[in-house]
A and B are shown apart, each in its own frame.
Chain A
Amino acid sequence: DGGITQSPKYLFRKEGQNVTLSCEQNLNHDAMYWYRQDPGQGLRLIYYSQIVNDFQKGDIAEGYSVSREKKESFPLTVTSAQKNPTAFYLCASKQGATTEAFFGQGTRLTVV
């Protein structure tokens, strides 16, 4: 079945450590997205990529980094520079600017 896979579902990180969240899609979509979700704040765009080897900052990119070396993969690294990383992270993909996005099941990151 085609879809988007995020792993792991739950992730714990110590303060000061970098951590990478995985997102893989087999939908052959060009565009991929990372959102952060906090209670009462909706989905805020971190980074998005329209094509391999290219990505753009979203509204809250500080403290995060991404890469897009393969069409099907768009990993997100939460760096130690991110001051408040505890949140629910959602990855999405879409084909073209005009279609709907498909979402993974999310990764809940907790800093301990």
Chain B
Amino acid sequence: AQSVTQLGSHVSVSEGALVLLRCNYSSSVPPYLFWYVQYPNQGLQLLLKYTTGATLVKGINGFEAEFKKSETSFHLTKPSAHMSDAAEYFCAVSLTSGTYKYIFGTGTRLKVLA
């Protein structure tokens, strides 16, 4: 069965520092992977996705993520944090075949310190 693990429910970084949010997945078949951002009392907005091809994926707002099959990871990074990045971030996995089931991790709340 597919699953997603996000290490660290809360992460704090200083403004201008590197952001690293971790995501590991478990899947019996090659997965499609996604990162979303959620601001308070709102729905989720897609940041970036990996389907096939280049394993380094660039998204909106300066975020990027690298798919590492050997490590079953899809960590999200941003070189320099901005105050507006403070939000909750979710990693999600979708299988490439057989089912439309779409599973999310437990989320990481990012705090940016001035």
Contacts and interface: CB of A to CB of B under 8 A. Distances in A.
A1 interface: no
A41 B44 contact: no
B106 A104 contact: no
B26 interface: no
Contact of A42 (B94, B96, B106): B106
Interface string B66-85: 00000000000000000000
B63 interface: no
Interface residues of A, number: 30
Interface string B89-106: 010101111111111111
Given A103-B44, A105-B42, A106-B42, A98 B102 contact: no
Contacts of A104: 43
Contacts of A102: 46
B105 A42 contact: yes
Contact residues on B (Cβ < 8 Å of other chain), bracket: 20 to 34
A43 B38 CA distance: 11
B95 to A, nearest CB: 7
Contacts of A96: 100
Contacts of A100: 34, 46, 49
Contact of A50 (B34, B96, B100): B100
A45 B103 contact: yes
Nearest to B34: A100
Nearest to B103: A45
A94 B93 CA distance: 13
Closest 7 CB pairs of A and B: A103-B43, A42-B106, A43-B104, A103-B44, A50-B100, A31-B100, A42-B107
7 contacts: A42-B6, A43-B90, A44-B104, A50-B100, A96-B100, A97-B32, A108-B41
Given A45-B102, A48-B102, 4 more contacts: A43-B107, A88-B41, A103-B43, A105-B42
Interface of A: 4, 30-31, 33, 35, 40-45, 48, 50, 56, 58, 88, 90, 92, 94, 96-98, 100-106, 108
